[in-house]
Amino acid sequence: MSEPVMRSPLHSFGLASQARQIDDSCGVWANEIPYLGYISLRGDGRDQTFVTAASNALGVPLPLQSCTLSSSNDLKVLWLSPDEWMIVAAPGQANALRSCLQQALAGVRSQVVDNSGGYTKIFLGGSKALDVLRHVSVYDFESLQPNRVVGTTFGKSSAYVFRQGDGYRLIVRRSFADYIWRYLARAATPYGFGIANAAPG
Amino acid sequence: MFVFFCPHCGENREEEEFGYGGEAFIPRPSAPETLDDDAWGDYLFMRKNPKGWHWEMWSHNTGCRKFFVVKRNTATNAIAGSWTLSDGRKAYDAEGGAT
Ligand SMILES: [Zn+2]
């Protein structure tokens, strides 16, 4: 038997070989940011013991205000609901982070699950990125402030979206990743759709 | 097209993000095995179906994925407000388990 190989959900699109430097030739640029670590953290946001233990283990405060996120150099912590957070970590860090959280939360009513195979991240940028989001979703992305994260509808699926630097980041379920990628690509076609080189974070 | 205020997300959101959860605050019988078929059928299937104000649940499917309570007028589609399940229960009881 051969060793199992981790393949990104958008592997079949061959994005890496099409990637090029962002320039003015396209209005919309995107790429997958694959192989990140995704940890699902459940617990009661009103339980001070849980919040303190989780925040200490993460090294950043657990965001308690709805639809906000906190971040450090190594990770992002996304508020998903009053009792659920998603932690996005650098490639290869999920396992250590999971056991660190589990140790910190031992005896506290909580749940920590490594969901790294279940999600992927998409970079969306370019001068027409906002127009594409308007086509494919119902949320008013123009009003989306930095340090806020929104879960909303994308066609028949959904995504978590936040602003970062020059563009947007979408976190999508593995099983819907190719649907959402095609959906974005189709909406972006009139503006010119380019595969971006080395999508930042 | 409705716009609902999600009490968990703290924002107004488009109807496409939500799913309908049916009439709110239907008490589950405490001992279902003691009910006859009519009483169990009433619990499962019979609804108030009012013309006017209706307390109902909605689920924020693509957002926080929580259920919450909306008071909606079925004749005009006016929305009186939305609450978490526990806060909504208090408002509902304050109206005397309203119509
Ligand atoms: Zn919500």
The tens-digit pLDDT sequence of chain A (201 residues) is: 788 888 999 999 999 999 999 999 999 999 999 999 999 999 999 999 999 999 999 999 999 999 999 999 989 999 999 999 999 999 999 999 999 999 999 999 999 999 999 999 999 999 999 999 999 999 999 999 999 999 999 999 999 999 998 899 999 999 999 999 999 999 999 999 999 997 555
Q: What is the ipTM of this complex?
A: 0.91
Nearest to A153 among B11, B62, B66 (CB): B62
Domain spans, chain A: 11-34+118-195, 37-116
The residue of chain B nearest to residue A66, with distances taken between CA atoms, is B9
Whether B81 is in a domain gets the answer yes
Which DSSP string do the residues of chain B spell out, in sequence order? --EEEETTTTEEEEGGG-EEEEES--PPPS-GGG--HHHHHHHHH-----SSEEEEEEE-TTTT--EEEEEEETTT--EEEEE-HHHHHHHHHHTTS--
Whether B99 is in a domain gets the answer no
* Contact: B62, A158; criterion CB under 8 Å: yes
* pLDDT tens-digit series, residues B28-62: 999 999 999 999 999 999 999 999 999 999 999 99
pTM, 2 dp: 0.94
What pLDDT, on a 0 to 100 scale, did the predictor assign at position B97? Answer: 78
What pLDDT, on a 0 to 100 scale, did the predictor assign at position A74? Answer: 87
* Contact: B13, A152; criterion CB under 8 Å: yes
Number of domains, chain B: 1
Q: What domain range includes position B26? A: 3-94
Partners of residue B13 in chain A, C-beta under 8 Å = 138-139, 152
* Contact: A81, B62; criterion CB under 8 Å: no
Which DSSP string do the residues of A78-118 spell out, in sequence order? EEEETTEEEEEE-TT-HHHHHHHHHHHTTTSSEEEEE-GGG
A58: contact with B, CB 8 A cutoff: no
Residues 6+ apart with CB under 8 A from B87: B7, B69
* Phi, psi dihedrals of residue A39, rounded to the nearest 5°: -110, 130
CATH at B8: 3.30.2270.10
Scanning A99-118 for CB atoms below 8 A from B yields: none
How far apart (Å, rounded) are the C-alpha atoms in residues A32 and A178? 11
What pLDDT, on a 0 to 100 scale, did the predictor assign at position A199? Answer: 59
Whether B46 is in a domain gets the answer yes
CATH code assigned to A37-116: 3.30.70.1520
* Contact: A153, B65; criterion CB under 8 Å: no
Whether B55 is in a domain gets the answer yes
Report the topology of domain A11-34+118-195. Gyrase A; domain 2 (3.30.1360)
